[in-house]
Structure formats: structure tokens, C-alpha cells
């Protein structure tokens, strides 16, 4: 199997397994912080999902940021957060962002 094939399989497996786990969480569990200086469970899940989105679009398919699901599925508009050009190498990697 190629490296690209392995990455694709990993992304599919994580997405398939994570969905039911997230759906079973209560709002209190999503908002919980393991440590005061860390991220909540919800923000950690968000980072994982955004990373998978970025990996699929920009790395695996070689497409521009506008092809990420964050943009095409309306998440940018729903949250008011547009990561294009932000952070390391313009990949939307930032710290200190809080949901609007």
C-alpha cells in the first residue's frame, strides 16, 4: 500500500470511529478541561477534525484551502472563523482561538 493509501485509510478509520464517540458526549463532557491551561474536549475534537480536513484537502489531494470542508460545508460562515493565511505557513494553525 502507498503512503497516500495508508493516510486515506487512517482518515477514514478515525472519522468512522470518532463520530459515535462524540455523539455520546454530554455538553458538560464536551466543555470539560483536563487541565486549566489545556483545551477542552470539544476544542481537542475540533482540532482533530480540522487537521483531518486539512490533511485530506491540502496534503492528500493537493487542493487549495478553499476546497477544505471547513469552507465548502459552510463551517467558516457558521463560526465566523476563516483560517486562510493564519498561522504557520498559512495553514490555519493558531493558538488562543476561542469559539465566537
Q: What is the DSSP string of 24-90?
A: T--HHHHH--SSTTS--HHHHHHHHHHHHHHIIIIIIS---GGGSHHHHTSHHHHHT---TT-BGGG
Whether residue 10 has pLDDT greater than 80? yes
For the chain, the structural domain boundaries read: 3-86
Number of CB atoms found within 10 A of residue 68's CB: 23
CA 54 to chain CA centroid, nearest Å: 7
Query: Distances in Å between the alpha carbon of 39 and those of 11, 56, 70, 85, 90?
Result: 22, 24, 20, 23, 22
Region for 95 from its dihedrals, namely left if φ exceeds 0, alpha if ψ lies in -120 to 50, beta otherwise: beta
pLDDT at 91 over 80: no
% of residues, the chain, pLDDT over 70 = 84
d(CA 71, CA 60): 17
Q: Which residue has the higher pLDDT, 93 or 35?
A: 35
pTM beyond 0.85: the answer is: no
pLDDT beyond 70 at 30: yes
Supply angle C-alpha 39, 29, 87, rounded to 5.
Answer: 25
Amino acid at each position: 500500500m502507498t503512503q497516500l493509501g495508508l493516510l486515506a485509510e487512517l482518515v477514514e478509520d478515525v472519522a468512522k470511529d470518532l463520530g459515535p464517540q462524540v455523539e455520546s458526549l454530554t455538553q458538560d463532557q464536551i466543555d470539560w478541561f483536563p487541565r486549566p491551561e489545556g483545551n477542552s474536549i470539544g476544542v481537542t475534537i475540533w482540532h482533530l477534525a480540522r487537521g483531518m480536513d486539512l490533511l485530506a484537502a491540502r496534503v492528500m489531494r493537493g487542493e487549495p484551502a478553499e476546497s477544505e470542508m471547513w469552507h465548502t460545508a459552510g463551517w467558516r460562515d457558521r463560526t465566523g472563523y476563516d483560517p486562510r493565511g493564519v498561522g504557520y505557513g498559512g495553514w490555519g494553525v493558531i493558538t488562543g482561538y476561542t469559539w465566537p
